Structure 1
Amino acid sequence: MKIGLVDDRMIDLEKLNGIISRIQNVEIIFSTTSAEEAYDQIKKETIDLLIADIEMPHLSGYELADIIHSHALNISVIFVTGNSGYAVHAFELNVHDYIMKPYTNDRLMKSIERLMEKSRSAELTGRLYLKQKNDIHIVQKKDIVFIERSGRATTIYTKEEEIKTYLTLNELEGELRERDFIRSHRSFIINIHYVKNFSLYAKNSYVITFEGLDKQAMITKEKVDFLQKYYF
């Protein structure tokens, strides 16, 4: 597990480093008092877990977690803070844990170990399980080209097949938090690796064509700008 640490107080950062360095199978990718530096690393998504203080100058830990959540980055978050006032907001951002200072070494170590165990015991990461009446359809996530919501039904497109499901895009978006997938439009989730071309459709939207598939999807201008900034 690759971990990033950020706390504007050096004494607290050193404590984090001391605890994390004793845990097996983890690597500290960065350890910084600068939330801006942490932000640059998050944009590259070089880590699996961010451990952050909340109240820091210029950019807060809460804002970093909000970036991770809103951009659906595959990064877990643990807040280590002296302020209990953000607990409800942390729950809304689906952070892994909220640890109050001062804390024991064991408290943080158990939280990280619990996250590692959760990752190991989760359903096979590369697969999506779709219940269809009496059957369970298993789809390799890497094979998904895009997903479209139309009416009350959702269609998952791969190069080989079209799979119908009654899961909503919000539900599927939660299952596809890998960096490969983005919500391109209110009715579409796309796999960026299959994108071939964007063609202007209207003032604020584009049509997407894909490699190896005749079907098309939609993307907003805002998401095209996002892709150009963070992916391409």
Structure 2
Amino acid sequence: MNSIIIDDEFPSREELKFFIEKFSSIKILGEFESPIEALAFLDKVKVDVVFLDINMPNIDGMTLGKIISNKSKEIKIVFITAHKQYAVEAFELEAFDYILKPYSKERIVNLLKKLESFDGKGVIGDILSVWKGEKIVILKCENICYCEAVEGHTIVHTSEDEYVVNSSLSQLYKKLEEGQFYRTHRAFIVNMRKIEEITPWFNNTFMLRLTGIDKEIPVSRNNISEFKHLMGI
């Protein structure tokens, strides 16, 4: 996994480099105090992770993050900043993480472990790596009932528990097996094999009841025709 650091403060770059080099196998391909120079580098070199400060000259980090995200959705953006007020905007940008300075050793090491665990797609065959507290849990995709987007986070639900995934619902949907999982709504993905009951709802939509789940899952009006076709209704 290759990374770059973009931060106009030398001490901050040095501290982050120390933790990356000591506690992970992530390679640092470059460090930049100039956002413009960083963009020029990204035009030439493929990276997996960008560690990004927010308060910088010429281009602020949030604007830079949007530019990088538009270049490639595959690049994981980690904001490391002293400014907590941009957290919501960062998650709307689907940033991988948002860390406040000064950060603890535990916080940064946990981040690095998460990045390494999600190197690649995060899915190996029918296995999905997810987080539960401080541990990585390996889930069989067949045990997933549904996934949902909640306040900037993606939650994976089984009949027994729920887990946080460090990717957007759209990114997760691309990872899951086509045919088995379907995005019924902008905020929900369901395991088609877990559908137990389909109830007609208003505006010609449906509510779904899944095996082992009390919560009903909506099918949006925009997806109703495709859903009917998939279910042979």
TM range (shorter): 0.5 to 0.7
Aligned equivalent of 1:12: 12
Partner amino acid for 1:80?
A: I
* Inter-partner Cα distance in structure 1 for 2:230 and 2:7: 44
Shift of 1:128: 6.0
* Inter-partner Cα distance in structure 1 for 2:116 and 2:79: 16
> What per-residue deviation string (whole Å, max 9, x for no partner) do you get for residues 184-214 of structure 1?
xxxxxxxxxxxxxxxxxxxxxxxxxxxxxxx
Aligned equivalent of 1:94: 94
* Inter-partner Cα distance in structure 2 for 1:98 and 1:131: 33
Shift of 1:121: 7.7
Partner amino acid for 2:87?
A: A
What SS class does the counterpart of residue 8 from structure 2 fall into?
Answer: coil
Shift of 1:152: 4.9
Q: 5+ residue gaps in structure 2?
A: 126-173, 181-191, 194-223
> What per-residue deviation string (whole Å, max 9, x for no partner) do you get for residues 43-88 of structure 1?
3352111001011001122122112333443110111101111011
Matches within 5 A, 1:32-181: 32-44=32-44, 46-119=46-119, 122-124=122-124, 129-131=177-179, 152-153=225-226
* 1:82/1:100 contact within 8 Å kept: yes
Aligned equivalent of 1:22: 22
Which TM-score applies when normalising by structure 2? 0.53
What SS class does the counterpart of residue 178 from structure 2 fall into?
Answer: strand
What SS class does the counterpart of residue 23 from structure 2 fall into?
Answer: coil
* Inter-partner Cα distance in structure 1 for 2:96 and 2:26: 17
* Inter-partner Cα distance in structure 1 for 2:175 and 2:97: 26
* 2:48/2:76 contact within 8 Å kept: yes
* 2:6/2:52 contact within 8 Å kept: yes
* Inter-partner Cα distance in structure 2 for 1:95 and 1:29: 20
What SS class does the counterpart of residue 129 from structure 1 fall into?
Answer: coil
Shift of 1:153: 4.6
* Inter-partner Cα distance in structure 1 for 2:121 and 2:35: 32
* 1:50/1:77 contact within 8 Å kept: yes
**Gap change, CA 1:59 and 1:128, over 3 Å in 2:** same
**Gap change, CA 1:34 and 1:42, over 3 Å in 2:** same
* 2:90/2:98 contact within 8 Å kept: yes
Aligned equivalent of 2:185: none
**Alignment RMSD:** 3.1
**Greater fraction of residues in strand:** 1
Aligned equivalent of 2:31: 31
Which TM-score applies when normalising by structure 1? 0.53
Identical residues among aligned pairs (%):
28
**Gap change, CA 1:7 and 1:123, over 3 Å in 2:** same
**Gap change, CA 1:15 and 1:153, over 3 Å in 2:** same
What SS class does the counterpart of residue 30 from structure 1 fall into?
Answer: strand
Partner amino acid for 1:66?
A: K
* 1:45/1:75 contact within 8 Å kept: no
**Gap change, CA 1:165 and 1:77, over 3 Å in 2:** farther
Partner amino acid for 1:85?
A: Q
